[in-house]
Amino acid sequence: MLVKGASVLKAAKKGKYAVGAFNINDLEMLKAVTVACVEEKAPVIIQTTEKAIKYAGIDYLVGMTRVAATEDIPMALHFDHGKDLNLMKQCIKKGYTSVMFDGSKLPFKKNIAQTKKVVAMAKGKASVEAELGVIFGKEDSVSASKGLYTDPKMAKEFVKKTKIDSLAVAIGTKHGLSKKEIALGKKKGHLKLRFDILKEIHEDVNVPLVLHGGSDVPHSDIKKCIKLGICKVNIDTDLRVAFTDFVKKFSKEHPDVYDPREFLGPTVHAMKNVVKIKVREFGATQKA
């Protein structure tokens, strides 16, 4: 069933696990995530960026997710890294049950003011996530050449003043893959996470915390993050890599195949396996 983002995150906070938030752009990705989470009996957040909306169209994304949400697991539809308030308004109107306002590059006071506007706009219809600090890396329309760790004291003030449902923190994870990382086999370099900062935020802030750039973060680090209040882990790169690598390998091995279903079917299966591993690592199995 389609539920608000805050409802799955509240349950995760209480149960001390994290909900997987998977970025999708098409039917194949949505199917992979949905089937995996149904098999794992796990709650899930389906999320789309502005670029995904441009690619697939908002009505297709909402329509497909509504069908996926007829499955017997809690599912939220989330707008990831929203900057355009008009588009955010449209998402809420069309049926998104959660939105993220990304004012992380704005001055602190302006970020508070804009986030408050989004909270007022979404009231009663969708949950709101916002970000403080800057997450390093590049993914879709989000890009930062330098990361900026979240300041715990500012986080406390930010949550209190904006009344958001969840807070995205910058503790050293990164978005996407750099050219060098792609050349080295599509693995992120070793990420040094600042657990000390996360611990302080967790002590000062009462809302569920969100980890962006969760692809390639080792299981032991994910476990530590969940202990320190992370209730939502965003995964995008891992699915993109599984999708693209499978299609490339298949077309190399079967140059004569021209029916897309012959490679898209097994591609969904490859992505589904990635999702299942993640969901188990997040402790969300059997939590639906």
Q: How many CB atoms lie within 10 A of CB 80?
A: 26
| Amino acid at site 201 | I
For position 188 contacting Zn ion by CB under 5 A, the verdict is no
Site membership for Zn ion, residue 240 (CB under 5 A): no
Phi, psi of 92 (to 5 degrees): -65, -40
- For the bound state, the minimum distance from the C-beta of residue 234 to Zn ion, rounded and expressed in Å, comes to 5
Output the smallest distance, CB 269 to Zn ion, in A. Answer: 26
In the set 78, 174, 212, 276, which binds Zn ion (CB under 5 A)?
212
| Binding letters toward Zn ion, positions 128-167, x by CB under 5 A | ----------------------------------------
Cβ atoms within 10 A of the Cβ of 216, count?
A: 19
Q: Kindly report the CA angle at 140 between 8 and 212, in degrees rounded to 5?
A: 40
Alpha-carbon distances, residue 270 vs 33, 36, 250, 255 (angstroms): 11, 11, 12, 20
Stretch near Zn ion under the rule CB under 5 A, chosen from 10-18, 148-156, 212-220, 271-279: 212-220
- Residue 236 annotated in active site: no
CB of 104 to Zn ion, least distance (A): 10
Query: What is the C-alpha to C-alpha distance for residues 55 and 18, in angstroms, rounded to an integer?
Result: 29
CB nearer Zn ion, residue 73 or residue 275: 275
When the beta carbons of 233 and 275 are compared against Zn ion, the nearer one is 233
Distances (CA, A) of 281 to 81, 100, 116, 152, 217: 24, 24, 34, 26, 11
Stretch that binds Zn ion, among 154-162, 191-199, 206-214, 278-286 (CB under 5 A): 206-214
Tell me which DSSP letter residue 148 carries. B
Q: Which is nearer to Zn ion, 91 or 268 (CB)?
A: 91
DSSP string of 247-268, one letter each residue: HHHHHHH-TT---HHHHHHHHH
Sign of CA dihedral 6, 7, 12, 14: positive
Position with the least CB separation from Zn ion: 212
Q: Which stretch binds Zn ion (CB under 5 A): 144-152, 205-213, 222-230, 242-250?
A: 205-213
| Element containing residue 219 per DSSP (H, E) | helix 219-227
Cβ atoms < 10 Å from Cβ of 129: 34
Judged by CB under 5 A, the stretch of 84-92, 103-111, 114-122, 210-218 that binds Zn ion is: 210-218
**80, 216, 236, 238: the active-site residue:** 80
DSSP 58: H
**Contact region with Zn ion (CB under 5 A), list: 66-74, 182-190, 204-212, 256-264:** 204-212
- The count of residues interacting with Zn ion (CB under 5 A) is 1
Residue closer to Zn ion by CB (options 34, 49) is 49
Q: At its nearest, how many Å lie between Zn ion and the CB of residue 135?
A: 6
Residue number, 28 or 139, with CB nearest to Zn ion: 139
Catalytic residues: 80
Q: Which residues bind Zn ion (CB under 5 A)?
A: 212
